[in-house]
Amino acid sequence: MHRRGCGGVSVDGFVTSRSTSHRYLHGALLPGACITRKRLQQAPQAERRGNSDSVAVYCGLAAMMTDPGAVPESALPLALANASKDEIARLEEQRYRTCRRCRQFKPGRAHHCSICDRCVIKMDHHCPWVNNCVGLGNHKFFLLFIFYVFVLSAYALTLVFFRYAKCINESCPTYGAIRVVCLILEAVLFGLFTMCMMCDQYSVITTGTTQIDRLKGESADNLGLREVFGGSDCKFSLHWLLPVNIWFPTSVKNQVLGYVLEHELIFSEDEASEMDTFLDDDSVSDTTITMTTETLEGGWSVEKRVPASEAADVV
């Protein structure tokens, strides 16, 4: 999360949204003289329905504070994930795509944010209202945030409609009229804004192309809805509507991220023991395998196993 932007304004918006349920209750659902004992008994139930705005508040805070998918400093090209020793040695001589600003490896789907000063996987835009980039890690939270705000706005307008529909044939006092007008303005403003945002995000979800990709004229592999909502397939699941973190199967995780972490390239002890079984008994007794670390261009390193006699020749 970055400190600059409209984060403070968005927090004020969360507080305003939190008080909206009380406006529903006092300004729209219980219009003046229409208050009866039965209505007062139904008030707690209506307030519980109004408390659904808590989901929108949580989604907004999650979009603000969740890592949008920043590329870690230990990220390496995906080509090194399943490469053999000879292939790694050959790939080390190639020049990988690096960000000219943060001077580290830059995956194909990553873009550098000048405000956050970091590369973000599948960056769509930097949203001032959540004070954070919208990328792979928090795109779902951002979508749920604008969706639930739209639902709450539509719910508020529906309550106002029923209020005035009832007051057509009844003599309702004007008590609370100012609050109702404020509620209408707020619902229309946020409703139209979030509706436009959802229409724009629809093309992002269906095509897998972010706003920055469209500006640059780039295209990318589209994994469908699960690239945004996570999961093992594109079938609708309940977790799509819940503010929970996304997850990907191991088979597609690296493909989505576009990089592999440095520690994943280090040979395991089991692999080392399997390699040693190909040596005869005399060679095993006379040869000692030593771990050496080779520093490569770009500031990252790769650990290798070499015989102790050759360890001194490795730079």
pLDDT per residue as tens digits for the range 252-309: 787 788 888 877 665 444 443 333 333 344 433 444 445 555 554 544 444 555 554 4
Residue 69 backbone zone (phi > 0: left; psi -120 to 50: alpha; other: beta):
left
Catalytic amino acids?
127
- What is residue 312's predicted lDDT score, i.e. its pLDDT? 44
* Cβ neighbourhood burial of 122 (10 Å; 0-12, 13-18, 19+): buried
d(Cα 61, Cα 14) in Å, to the nearest integer?
A: 9
pLDDT at 129 over 90: no
**Which residue did the predictor score with more confidence, 266 or 195?**
195
Alpha-carbon distance of 184 to 17, in angstroms, equals 13
Q: Which tens digits make up the pLDDT trace of 92-128? A: 555 567 888 888 888 888 899 989 889 999 898 999 8
d(CA 237, CA 14) in angstroms, rounded, equals 27
Mention every residue, 6+ apart, whose C-beta is less than 8 A from residue 92: 296, 297, 302
Q: What pLDDT is attached to residue 287?
A: 43
Q: What is the pTM of this model?
A: 0.69
At 221, list the tokens: 């592999």
